[in-house]
């Protein structure tokens, strides 16, 4: 029975690129957003800030971002950026899912943005590397746009949920030395941390090839597997493989009842952070699965710890001089 299930799962991968997720995750994530609104909902008006919708950062039709600017602060034009990356199995989702989060952080004096990236769907293929490069290009665009609007961005944090949590970590760890805006920390919910086949239960060669091909957006050859190129390619898209002693502090949240992302993923992440001495906090959602929808107290704790990280690791304060 286990073999049959694995075969069926591998077939699903070739059609959806979701590989390890199910389409219904997008709906469940929407429920989680609704649950979190009680914690992060704010009274948004012109005195709080402004929103610039559907700004472009490349020529791909679906790629754009929404920018949330706090009301100008006196005696300062230096700001910190919080970038939200939506989930959706790498095949769906939309930047609008970050609206409530971005309004919350903009109300606290930070610049915030929520981004769309190149999804893998009927309109165009994609891969984790393409999505990662989209995020990098978007950060460059946000920095330039903010400069024209009088908001000098010189530090940032990334955040996201599920696929977005994975991309948030990958950017924070992989671009630590090359981001146009320096990274200070990352906080994420239920993001995959390693795509090595053994961490997802794939053991047969055909299963591994199917799994990796979908993630990497290219064919995997026998020679790649034989000479370890394959493993290095998987390393490149696995956030936990980029952690070093210089990696940014991290907050992560997972639910023990997750049926989408294997529960081993949180341990892979935390073990690597601990081994390299990187400050980190784990928030357990004891009654929740992938959507983290059943633990409002844990969501409140997650938001509170993120606020603490903002206060601790961002140097830009309301009275910081330019």
CATH of the domain at 258: 3.40.50.1820
Which strands, in side-by-side order, build the sheet including 78-85?
49-56, 64-70, 111-115, 78-85, 152-161, 183-189, 250-254, 280-284
- 319 domain-assigned: no
Residue at 171 is within a domain = yes
**Which residue in 302, 295, 296, 289 sits closest to 25, CA to CA?**
289
Q: Is residue 177 part of a domain?
A: yes
Exposed (0-12), middle (13-18) or buried (19+): which is 148, by Cβ within 10 Å?
exposed
Tell whether 207 is covered by a domain: yes
Number of structural domains the chain divides into:
1
* Nearest to 172, CA basis, from 162, 186, 160: 186
What b/e sequence results for 152-183 when a residue is b if at least 16 CB atoms lie within 10 Å of its CB, and e otherwise? ebebbbbbbbbbbbbbbbbbbbbbbeebebeb
pTM over 0.75: yes
Do 111 and 67 contact (CB within 8 A), yes or no?
Answer: yes
DSSP conformation letters of 38-56? HHH----STTTEEEEEEEE
The reply to whether 165 falls in a domain is yes
* Average pLDDT per 10 consecutive residues for the chain, totaling 322 residues: 47 43 46 63 92 91 92 78 94 94 96 95 87 97 96 97 97 96 98 90 78 81 79 94 98 96 95 98 97 94 97 77 43
Domain coverage including residue 198: 2-313
Q: Residue 39 falls within a domain, yes or no?
A: yes
């Amino acid at each position: 029975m286990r073999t049959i299930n694995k075969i069926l799962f591998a077939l699903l991968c070739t059609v959806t690129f979701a590989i390890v997720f199910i389409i219904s995750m997008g709906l469940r994530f929407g429920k989680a957003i609704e649950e979190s609104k009680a914690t992060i909902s704010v009274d948004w008006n012109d005195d709080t800030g402004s929103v610039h919708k559907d700004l472009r950062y490349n020529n791909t039709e679906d790629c754009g971002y929404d920018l949330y600017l706090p009301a100008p602060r006196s005696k300062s034009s230096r700001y910190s950026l919080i970038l939200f990356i939506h989930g959706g199995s790498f095949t769906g989702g939309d930047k609008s899912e970050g609206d409530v989060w971005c309004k919350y952080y903009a109300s606290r004096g930070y610049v915030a943005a929520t981004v769309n990236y190149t999804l893998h769907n009927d309109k165009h293929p994609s891969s984790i590397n393409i999505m990662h490069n989209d995020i990098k290009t978007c950060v460059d665009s946000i920095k330039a746009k903010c400069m024209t609007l009088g908001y000098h961005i010189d530090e940032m944090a990334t955040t996201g949920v599920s696929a977005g949590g994975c991309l948030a970590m990958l950017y924070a760890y992989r671009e630590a030395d090359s981001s146009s805006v320096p990274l200070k920390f990352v906080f994420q919910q239920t993001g995959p941390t390693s795509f090595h086949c053994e961490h997802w239960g794939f053991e047969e060669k055909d299963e591994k090839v199917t799994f990796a091909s979908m993630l990497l957006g290219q064919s995997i050859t026998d020679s790649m597997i034989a000479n370890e190129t394959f493993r290095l390619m998987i390393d490149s898209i696995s956030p936990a493989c980029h952690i070093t002693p210089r990696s940014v502090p991290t907050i992560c949240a997972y639910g023990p009842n997750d049926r989408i992302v294997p529960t081993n993923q949180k341990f892979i992440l935390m073990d690597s952070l601990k081994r390299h001495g990187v400050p980190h906090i784990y928030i357990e959602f004891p009654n929740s699965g992938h959507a983290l929808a059943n633990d409002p107290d844990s969501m409140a704790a997650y938001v509170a710890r993120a606020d603490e990280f903002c206060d601790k690791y961002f140097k830009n304060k309301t009275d910081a001089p330019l």
